[in-house]
Amino acid sequence: MIALSAAELQKFSQLRLPNVPPGDWNLLFSDDFTSLSLRSGGPTAAGYVAGSGVWTPRYSWSEVAQGDTHATENGFNTDPAYAWGGGYPANGQFLQSGSILTIQAQTIPSSLSGKIPTSSRTGLPYPWVTGILQTKNSFTFKAPIFAEARMKIPKGISLWPAFWMYAVTGGLTTEIDVIEQLNTQTNQYIATLHWGPDASPVQIDGGWLSRPLDLSLAYHNYGVLWQGGQFIFFCDRQPVWTYSQPAAWDDTYMYLLLDLAVGSTAAWTGLDPDGTTPNPAQLLIDWVKVWGTGATPWASPPSYVPTYELLGF
């Protein structure tokens, strides 16, 4: 059963939940991964702004040539546009077969030996490589939207798959986490909202959303409806959490992100990878779609002045 508090159950009972996506909405964005459209122009952030293609394989604010991550994590997001050499695959940690995109995390392959940056936390090269994809340079949007991804998540100590959204505007910690899942508790996941300035962000989540099955065994749909001042989160088109939109979101454009992080004892996972962690570990993505109304503000490509910040490795 879905784990909802009494207050949340009452709130749902007062809502007239629409079918999702509503039948008269338009499909604004769709990628079914029959091919992988990595953006050209890398590996610099400025180059990606001027490039073409859907998915940018790095955080939008990073200017580190090889890629990026957070210092608290064990996994380094390699940018495949960097000149790695040594036989490293052209698509890096992204595999595409049939109509499935795979983001693969693994310990450092021989082709990358001695080439991965050093973590400021450990003083050693990051021990795992993985990947992240985002659409800040190709597709951004505001409410009303319904966004959904169909994915098969991995199960393993320190693994941290996510489908999320982030604000285009610099200086804000505005974020919608449609799904984040940690470690081996794959019968549950968390959805979270973050907003406010970087110096004093606010965070609210729906708690651990329990499901009556192991989500790692099959593909499931994870979505969010952002409409009429309300967020409603869904798993397999069933509502799991709702929250009222803060006023700070009124003029906020967002973009999509997909990633498979590898955490640590210093990260939210609270654990380093161990001998039971799948190596490689894989997040499988069937498709990503965004629907909206005729009045939904969206842009492809977006119009904004990019700002760059360095992640503290």
117: buried, middle or exposed (CB in 10 Å: 19+, 13-18, 0-12)?
A: middle
Q: Is the pTM of this model over 0.75?
A: yes
Quick: pLDDT tens for 50-73.
Answer: 999 999 999 988 889 999 999 999
Helix residue ranges per DSSP H, 191-310: none
Contact predicate 282/154, CB 8 Å: yes
- For the record, the structure tokens of 82 come out as 């960097």
> Is 140 contained in some domain?
yes
> Is 309 contained in some domain?
no
Quick: pLDDT tens for 257-308.
Answer: 999 999 999 999 999 999 999 999 999 999 999 999 988 998 876 544 333 3
> Is 178 contained in some domain?
yes
Collapsing DSSP to helix, strand or coil, 224 comes out as strand
> Is 299 contained in some domain?
no
The one-letter amino acid at 161: P
CATH at residue 116: 2.60.120.200
**Percent of the chain beyond pLDDT 90?**
75
> Is 101 contained in some domain?
yes
| Domain count within the chain | 1
Domain that holds residue 128: 6-292
> Is 311 contained in some domain?
no
Q: 220 - beta bridge partners? A: 151
Reported confidence tier of residue 14, pLDDT bands at 50, 70, 90: very low
Cα separation values, 52 from 48, 137, 243, Å? 7, 8, 36
Specify the range with the lowest mean pLDDT, choosing from 5-9, 106-110, 120-124: 5-9
> Is 131 contained in some domain?
yes
> Is 305 contained in some domain?
no
